[in-house]
Chains A and B, each alone.
Chain A
Amino acid sequence: MADLRVDLAGVPLRNPLLLASGIWGESGDSLAGAWDAGAGAVITKSIGREPRPGYANPTVDSWDRWGFLNAMGLPNPGIDEYPKEVEVARSRGVTVIGSVFGHDADEFAELAEKIAATGVVGVELNLSCPHAEGLGTEIGSDPTEVEAITRAVVHRVRVPVIAKLTPNTDDIVALAVAAERGGAAAVSAVNTVRALSINAKLRRPTLSHGLGGLSGPAIKPVGLACVWQIYRKVKIPVVGVGGVSTGEDALEYLLAGARAVQVGTAVAFDGIKVFTSIRDELGRLLDEMGIASVADVVGGAHRAA
């Protein structure tokens, strides 16, 4: 069996599959459930300063298995309450990465420091939620802001900092370069793609917020392109996100240059056991190709291009 272990910016992972932020991240029991199903690490819900209820329902829409639209609105219980959920997961041996969001560099740094204190192995910065005013993409599409926020956070925490980037920009590579310059240990690409669903019979947007973010297989080619481009321009590792539902999807991302991948929407279609099936299929594919280790395929497709 191929060696699925990878080193992500100094963090040893038992396999390259991460639970994406926002999925199963509200309770420590759920984080542990994703770990038990085979995730290499789990990323928490994005946490802010204060409890935040998010938007009213409807917050999701979906189309068969190919696309999933959401505008949750960054619901979270706040940084004062959330550490007890991390503690539940950590007490069960789970490798946890903390995700935070803020309005500016100071807020990001404060939150990152607090979540780092819970014993997470890394901090992911949500610079890319596509549907929250004054947050996420609104600041994360400016390379200057990305660099400043990353730098502020890196100065305050000892664990690796991962910048999660938005595809809702004309130049995601510039964002990745900015994050690297700010001291990020890795970048995640991509967050959801800004999208809209209209209910024709009701003559209104389906989601209460109107605009949302598209995820799932529909955006896999978008994510692959972003990873491909970023891999060519930065030295830090890239985490691929967008439409990973099978071991082959994961392998495609690795070949495009990702050192790890995140899985989210596939959980809605196949349940949390999708981590088991993706992991096992990835191992089988590598074995069939005679490849000894995940690390050996990272960026492999660039050699053919």
Chain B
Amino acid sequence: MRRVVRVVERVEETPSTVTLRYDDPSESRPGQFVMVWVPGEDELPMSLAYTGARKGITVKAMGTTSQRIQSIPVGTLLGIRGPYGNAFDLSPPKVLVVGGGSGSAVLAPAAEAAIADGRDVVAALGATTERELLFADRFRGMGAVVHVATDDGSAGAPGYVTGVVDGLLHHQEFDAVWTCGPEVMMRKVITAARASSVPVFCSVERWMKCGLGLCDACALGPWHVCVDGPVFPGEALLGAAGFSEFFRDASGHRRPWGATSKADLGPAGPPPG
């Protein structure tokens, strides 16, 4: 079930995000996640930020566990299982990608694969500040048209990325929207895309334990994010109990999202109880 891999590269992407790369030939598709076991620490669901033979996960530092994972050196052994879950449908000819904060991590490999297949990708990336913009250069390098918004106006449009999205949907035709970020942001993106009659697909995070559809930790409405997701049609999410409202912590206790995403809570999330 698990295989042991060695960290071969460590890249500081932004002040709060680090990418760890490891070699693993297993088949994976953009949107899927792996369970990453850091011996002695924890095992966490991480979306693949790189899906080729040299895979990569991008870790955002929030809690103590995620900070420790960020600081592990090249050469460290990790346990990996997966990839698990579903993937983005890469067939739409022109896609708008909307990434909030570290949400860009799962969108980048999907955009790369789409562009490699001859699709057009426009990326709208949001961050608190310029230095926290994740993978903006990677999106530009792959040939995507990149639009940026920062809360403090240090790069691109000042304010939330949803403002940029509204403008793009108003002025251009898209065949699909892919988004990942805080659920309050994704809810706005879903609403805007629906108003423009564009199908929207969201990568969602929940607390996970088994990753196999058994333990119910990642229950979201009638689904389990680990096996039914993590990519969901936006319309389905609008009616799912908990979407953009609450998630269940390690005990199953319902916790409100507020304006943060699971990624921003760090892998261990808030202390339970």
Contact = CB atoms under 8 A, between A and B. Distances in A.
B2 interface: yes
Contact of B42 (A54, A57, A201): A57
Given A77-B252, A199-B2, A201-B77, A22 B215 contact: yes
A37 B49 CA distance: 35
A272 B253 CA distance: 23
A194 interface: no
Contacts of A267: 213-214
A266 to B, nearest CB: 10
Interface residues of A, number: 45
A45 B42 contact: no
Nearest to A25: B216
Interface string B23-48: 00000000000010101111110000
Contacts of B37: 57-58
Contacts of B241: 29
Main secondary structure of the interface of A (DSSP, over half): loop
A271 interface: yes
Contacts of A59: 43, 209-210, 215
Contacts of B252: 26-27, 45, 51, 75-77, 81-82
B213 A201 contact: no
A199 B248 contact: no
A51 B1 contact: no
Contacts of B209: 54, 57, 59-60, 72, 75
A54 B77 contact: no
A32 B42 CA distance: 31
Nearest to A206: B2
Interface in A73-110: 75-78, 81-82
Which one of B44, B215, B272 has the greatest number of beta carbons of chain A within 10 Å? Answer: B215
A29 B219 contact: yes
A128 to B, nearest CB: 18
A54 B1 contact: no
A32 B216 CA distance: 13
A70 B216 CA distance: 14
Interface of B: 1-2, 4, 35, 37, 39-44, 77, 79, 209-217, 219, 221-222, 224, 227, 241, 248-254, 272-273
Which 5 pairs, one residue from A and one from B, show the smallest C-beta to C-beta distance?
A57-B43, A53-B250, A53-B272, A26-B216, A27-B219
Given A23-B216, A57-B42, A60-B211, 4 more contacts: A33-B222, A54-B209, A82-B252, A268-B212
